[in-house]
């Protein structure tokens, strides 16, 4: 766990196509001062509108996580946000020249790699955490998200798909060391062939291909290279969860457990989380450690 906030040590750049727009996109990540948070700047628009990556600014969760404000939107932010969370980056300015982030290879690995190459810088300001004191749960129609008290930051993701190549899968990660880079970042987004064809007919998924997604027909994975992990589907859902929960603005000390959840349900849980203020408190690590010694 980090006691102090971090930003990138130098600029990081990448380019690629948007999953749904099919447009070529250029993205630059710049260092930012303490307490800045993660912000996205649309440099292709007049006055370069900037949007804070916070759950209150989420405007759509139907196909991806989309934030908006000041007449602008930024779409499909979850993989980059997961990389910030997984690597412990609190402050950064993301400049983008389109409304959708590049999908790259469908995972967070390219983002994580370029951020690691840019390096991290520790900042003078303490890092705040939400410390969970009592369980909080949201459940509906077989889906659920629950967060339990825990001294560490942990996430468990459970999925259950009626598909022979998927079925039930469960994965847990402790957000420490290189766990995100080694166990989660390489897991790719996935979809079904019949849905992909329909979406393209509707003008969506214009940039989708076997190069940036796992695609399944009625029986199997059709990508020639197969899966990167036996449980890659659950790992990618966990990756999305990290990205969505990072929109709280500060990390959580607790154990998040999801079952059959997605962007929309994750967002609904974040709203409930903030309503349950008696179940958590904000703290810094030094203050928390002193309290534990005193107890």
The burial class, CB within 10 Å (0-12 / 13-18 / 19+), for 38 is: buried
Q: Which of 79, 263, 267, 294 is catalytic?
A: 263
3-state secondary structure of 116: helix
Taking a C-beta distance cutoff of 8 angstroms, is the pair 146, 49 a contact?
no
Distance CA 140, CA 150 (A): 24
> Which residues share a beta bridge with 151?
none
Q: Is 259 a catalytic residue?
A: no
Taking a C-beta distance cutoff of 8 angstroms, is the pair 295, 12 a contact?
no
Helix, strand, coil share of the chain (percent; to 5): 25, 35, 35
Distance CA 148, CA 279 (A): 10
Alpha helical stretches, state H, the chain = 78-87, 109-118, 179, 193-201, 232-245, 263-275, 285-294
Q: Annotated active-site positions, please?
A: 263
């Amino acid at each position: 766990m980090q006691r102090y906030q971090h930003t990138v040590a130098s600029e990081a750049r990448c380019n690629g196509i948007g999953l749904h727009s099919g447009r070529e996109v250029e993205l630059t990540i710049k260092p930012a001062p303490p307490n800045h948070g993660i912000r996205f700047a649309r440099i292709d628009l007049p006055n370069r509108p900037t949007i804070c990556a916070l759950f209150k600014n989420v405007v759509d969760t139907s196909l991806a996580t989309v934030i908006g404000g000041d007449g602008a939107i930024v779409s499909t932010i979850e993989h980059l946000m997961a990389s910030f969370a997984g690597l412990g980056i609190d402050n950064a300015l993301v400049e983008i020249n389109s409304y959708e982030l590049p999908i790259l290879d469908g995972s967070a690995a390219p983002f994580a790699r370029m951020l690691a190459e840019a390096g991290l810088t520790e900042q003078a300001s303490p890092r705040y955490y939400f410390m969970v004191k009592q369980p909080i749960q949201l459940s509906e129609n077989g889906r659920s998200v629950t967060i339990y008290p825990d001294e560490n930051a942990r996430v468990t993701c459970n999925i259950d798909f009626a598909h022979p190549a998927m079925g039930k899968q469960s994965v847990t990660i402790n957000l420490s060391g290189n766990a995100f880079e080694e166990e989660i970042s390489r897991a790719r987004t996935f979809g079904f062939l019949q849905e992909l064809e329909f979406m393209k007919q509707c003008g969506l998924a214009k940039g989708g291909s076997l190069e940036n997604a796992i695609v399944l027909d009625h029986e199997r994975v059709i990508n020639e290279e197969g899966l990167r992990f036996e449980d890659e589907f659950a790992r990618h859902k966990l990756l999305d969860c990290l990205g969505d929960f990072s929109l709280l603005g500060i990390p959580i000390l607790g154990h998040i457990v999801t079952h059959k959840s997605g962007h929309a349900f994750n967002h609904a849980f974040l709203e409930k989380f903030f309503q349950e203020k008696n179940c958590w408190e904000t703290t810094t690590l030094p203050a928390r450690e002193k309290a534990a010694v005193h107890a």
